[in-house]
Structure 1
Amino acid sequence: MKYGLVKNLVNGSYVEARSGETIEVTSPATDGDVVGAVPAMGKEDLDAVFGAAEAGARSWKATDHLGRGRVLLDAGRLIRERHQELVDIIVTEMGKTTAEATGEVTKTAEFFEYYGGMARLPFGEYLPDGRPGTFASQLREPIGVVLLITPWNDPLLTPARKMAPALLAGNAVVIKPATVTPIITLKLAEILTDAGLPAGVLGTITGRGSEIGDELFTYVAVKAVSFTGSTEIGRGIQKQLAGTGIRVQTEMGGKNAVVVLDDADLDLAVPAIVSGAFAQAGQRCTATSRLIVQKGIQDQVTERIVKAVSTLRVGPGATEGVNLGPVVSKSAQQDINHHVAGALDEGAEVLATATLSEDLESTGCFVQPAFLKISREHAIWRKEVFGPVLAMVVVDSFEEAIEAVNDSDYGLSSAVFTKDLGRAFAFVESADTGQVSVNQPTTGWDIHQPFGGFKDSGSAFKEQGLEALNFYTRVKTIALRTH
């Protein structure tokens, strides 16, 4: 095994599961080659993790803001220094291309640098008070222990997106990464420990969700849960924790739409659409899944996208010149192919595919990128595919395009391509999505920009930027009589 057994961080030490059982980690680019292993923690392992976190929350809260910020800044520095190791793990474990993994590592460092620098910003403010001789203010303080449940598609970036603001705010963190991509998260825990994070402030849990998932929510120390993953599981967590007083933040699915109006700059629009749909093999919650084209430019858009898709190169992520790596697993491969087959059975038309050798499809978890023409009656219009599939519908008017964008249970990201400023602003106001772009792809949101969706795509709490701190802090109002 390339990485051997990578252990969990518990109270400052690296430990195995008490049972000695492990979970094998395989490469999606090969026929199930084992590249490492992590402990298969059971219920008997959890007390130590949450007990340490409870103590860690008290000590970390007592650490001043500048001290917390220093740890985060040092973590950012170490991520940059260990850049190549982290890139290799992401490519091997998850299947991203080297370029995609490089971008993820860089952005991860930026998260820690951004929130580390934020340690010098105000964490409270003066409040006027009508009572004589009274000084009033409000302070932000940590909420305690937060549980992070993170996905496989951005296995380093998503933990950083949650962890950095949670730690800056003074909370202890317990994180459970996705079972198929746990190694990179455990390496991030090592980096934070090397950066000076005290024992107990961060704990990691690797194990099968079916065995320990429900148990994670039973600890009274847990004050908040931040989850990124499927809408089905996110909704289940919301229901399970309703009425418990535990805060819940969910970033879930998406069925993101791009509108191309008849005045659009196609030299700008088409590369953005193709990248948004097929980069990372379509395995992004913000990936472009639906393409809504105004009828007058249907032929031009179709011709350009067909040409672009046909030149995409699929292969192992470490191979030079590859545009798409594998999807994360055989089950993901089967699910995506099932969605496409179902669409074809319903009458969808294949406009273009990229070449995929039978060798790759059988030995690895590769999927043939597809560009389809569909109708809004097809199931694939509504269901999240989470793979390299772009489905196009044609509309007559701007108003019909807006209606089509909002014709979804999801509301994460949308975009419009137009040269008309009036229609651009009308789109911004009308799109029922948490993220809206004009002449930009549905993907690519920066670390300081609030991120999160509406409807079945998310909860009321946004991630990233200053907004992220609202979830990880509570407000204490103080009134002090001075004389």
Structure 2
Amino acid sequence: MIHTRAQSILLDLGIHTEPKGLAVGNRWVAGHGPTFSAHSPIDGVELASLTVASPDQVSQATSAAREAFVSWRVVPAPVRGELVRRIGDRLRHHKSDLAELVSWETGKITQESLGEVQEMIDVCDFAVGLSRQLYGRTIASERPLHRLTEQWHPLGPVGVISAFNFPVAVWAWNTMIALVCGDPVVWKPSEKGTLCAIACHSIAAGVAAEMPEAHQGLLSLVIGDAETGKAIADSPDLPLVSATGSVPMGRDVAVRVARRLGRSLLELGGNNGMIVAPSADLELATRSILFAAVGTCGQRCTSLRRLYVHDSIADPMAEQLKKLYARLPIGDPTTDGTLVGPLIDERAILAMQDALAAAREQGGTIFGGDQITNQVPAGGFYVRPAIVEIAADAPIVQQETFAPILYLMRYSDLDDAIAMHNGVPQGLASAILTNDVREAELFCSPAGSDCGIANVNIGTSGAEIGGAFGGEKETGGGRESGSDSWKAYMRRATNTVNYSPELPLAQGIQFDLD
């Protein structure tokens, strides 16, 4: 059963088949698992009630993907790119409908939902170009009349486990790149992004259905819980599993995939930091901080959590941020002018309150952070973003709370600030606000930020798809989207071709019978 408005959006998207627990291509199969209910964080209304797939049903999707791989891997990459181009065109046509569904199911404001759908479209464009650029290389051989080269071949079916906060973009980052690389995809979305997943899968599978029958297992969707995700991680049919989510989830996936000697691509914790230097443009800084800290109600993996401000400007910066926080329009994310929507669920509110209580016990001074019940939709999960002035060595600063909490700390020496910035377990996104080129270059150098993303004079969030996205330490080390991230979805083959009448051995080894 699906909520009337959500059903209307799905119909507008051309989805007339009643969704069930498992889809292989555009063929739906009833789930064998428990009944699952999805609710909107906007007002708590039930959006869908579905019987989800059980872990033992995962093999239906992975087997179909394995069969599709046999034919898909030999399709020329530019032809594979044509499929992705057509998916991108269909996403363009349905951009506003998809964005509305993202807002309804995850609580994102309309502008951010539109931006997330645009990410899918952008990565389709990127992948289409990539389909003609899966380059190998030629290497100088030490042997005469020999050619030494590298080729990149399709790896095999890819499992994608995505999180609620980017319910469609993360799937597209992986899927569009995987498709042009020659790999089918089995997708297990977050339970909190089920309808978004149904919509995106149905659009893409509808395009793929126009391909020959042998390719019908290219795209599968498995709606399930954590046990279903474990079955994907355990599946020997999936040589690569890309997982986005919490650090505990990533550790479990990594162990399961490593146990069978597969590959895992992990995007996990953030706890992102920013340094504001004395030379920074303070207006630019406050604008950067505001979006990075409160955008998506602090539920981006790249959300700004830790702010290190130089002593000389800390007081005015704190006061300016508090004024801006006090003016934030908080409420229904589908209403024009709203900048902060709800947290995803009640558990997120409780985690935020626990973190603020710990910060208070550790000497923090808190501005904001209270739950809002007035002038917001009843049944939703709304909070006022918090600023916590606290010492940099407070234990709570080491933890990432997926909520709009900004820890504001002070520094006097840049080297100390960088050390404090790097002194957490996570390593995803980072930034420095400065007009001093030496400070900027130091921050981006090997002696600077230890994160996968290091920005200058912009915030920590809002990455473009052209660059490789990912981080180090507890963030997991994975890289998705742009640059050469495509190599994770392929296998490398080194070829030596002897076109001489002789057989010289490498390293000058002599091995001849008398």
Aligned with residue 115 of structure 2, among 90, 93, 103:
103
User: Are the counterparts in 2 of residues 254 and 413 from structure 1 also a CA contact under 8 Å?
Assistant: yes
Question: Which residue of the partner structure matches residue 269 of structure 1?
Answer: 285
Amino acid across the alignment from 1:91: S
How high is the TM-score relative to the length of structure 2? Answer: 0.89
The CA deviation string for residues 308-339 of structure 1, in whole angstroms up to 9 with x for no partner, is 11110111110111111111111112111221
Residues 281-290 or 127-136, more deviating: 127-136
User: Are the counterparts in 2 of residues 314 and 355 from structure 1 also a CA contact under 8 Å?
Assistant: no
Residues 85-94 or 344-353, more deviating: 344-353
User: Are the counterparts in 2 of residues 17 and 45 from structure 1 also a CA contact under 8 Å?
Assistant: no
Give the unaligned 5+ runs of structure 2.
8-17, 501-514
Cα distance, 1:106–1:398 mapped onto 2, change above 3 Å: same
Query: Greater Rg, structure 1 or structure 2?
Result: 2
**Structure 1 residue 466: deviation in Å?**
3.1
User: Is 1:478 equivalent to 2:490 in the alignment?
Assistant: no
Q: How many residues align?
A: 480
SS at match of 2:270: coil
TM alignment of 1:25-44, pairs within 5 A: 25-30=38-43, 32-44=44-56
TM alignment of 1:92-241, pairs within 5 A: 92-196=104-208, 198-209=215-226, 211-241=227-257
**Structure 1 residue 37: deviation in Å?**
3.4
Question: Which residue of the partner structure matches residue 443 of structure 1?
Answer: 461
**Structure 1 residue 376: deviation in Å?**
2.4
The CA deviation string for residues 424-481 of structure 1, in whole angstroms up to 9 with x for no partner, is 111212111111011110111111101111111122x421213211211111122223
SS at match of 2:496: strand
**Structure 1 residue 399: deviation in Å?**
1.9
Question: Which residue of the partner structure matches residue 19 of structure 2?
Answer: 6
The CA deviation string for residues 341-383 of structure 1, in whole angstroms up to 9 with x for no partner, is 2212333112456893446486211122111111124333111
Question: Which residue of the partner structure matches residue 19 of structure 1?
Answer: 32
Cα distance, 1:475–1:75 mapped onto 2, change above 3 Å: same
Alignment partners' CA distance in 2, 1:368 and 1:350: 12
Give the unaligned 5+ runs of structure 1.
none
How high is the TM-score relative to the length of structure 1? Answer: 0.95
TM alignment of 1:279-290, pairs within 5 A: 279-290=295-306
Amino acid across the alignment from 2:204: L
Cα distance, 1:20–1:412 mapped onto 2, change above 3 Å: closer
Question: Which residue of the partner structure matches residue 464 of structure 1?
Answer: 481
Alignment partners' CA distance in 2, 1:337 and 1:50: 41
Alignment partners' CA distance in 2, 1:353 and 1:58: 54
Structure 1 runs, 4 residues or longer, greater than 4 Å off: 352-355
Cα distance, 1:13–1:298 mapped onto 2, change above 3 Å: closer
User: Are the counterparts in 2 of residues 155 and 184 from structure 1 also a CA contact under 8 Å?
Assistant: yes
Residues 277-286 or 297-306, more deviating: 297-306
TM alignment of 1:281-300, pairs within 5 A: 281-300=297-316
Cα distance, 1:299–1:20 mapped onto 2, change above 3 Å: closer
Alignment partners' CA distance in 2, 1:123 and 1:418: 38
User: Are the counterparts in 1 of residues 42 and 377 from structure 2 also a CA contact under 8 Å?
Assistant: no
Alignment partners' CA distance in 1, 2:233 and 2:454: 34
Alignment partners' CA distance in 1, 2:332 and 2:200: 24
Alignment partners' CA distance in 2, 1:306 and 1:408: 26
Alignment partners' CA distance in 1, 2:280 and 2:75: 53
The CA deviation string for residues 124-169 of structure 1, in whole angstroms up to 9 with x for no partner, is 2333333333333221011111111110000011111111111111
Residues 41-50 or 286-295, more deviating: 41-50
**Structure 1 residue 18: deviation in Å?**
4.2
Alignment partners' CA distance in 2, 1:26 and 1:243: 36
Cα distance, 1:120–1:236 mapped onto 2, change above 3 Å: same
TM alignment of 1:399-438, pairs within 5 A: 399-429=415-445, 430-438=448-456
Residues 216-225 or 139-148, more deviating: 216-225
Aligned with residue 454 of structure 1, among 457, 460, 472:
472
Aligned with residue 306 of structure 1, among 310, 322, 328:
322
Q: Equivalent pairs: percent with the same residue?
A: 28
Alignment partners' CA distance in 2, 1:171 and 1:123: 17
TM alignment of 1:333-352, pairs within 5 A: 333-352=349-368
Amino acid across the alignment from 2:432: V
User: Are the counterparts in 1 of residues 329 and 338 from structure 2 also a CA contact under 8 Å?
Assistant: yes
Residues 215-224 or 164-173, more deviating: 215-224
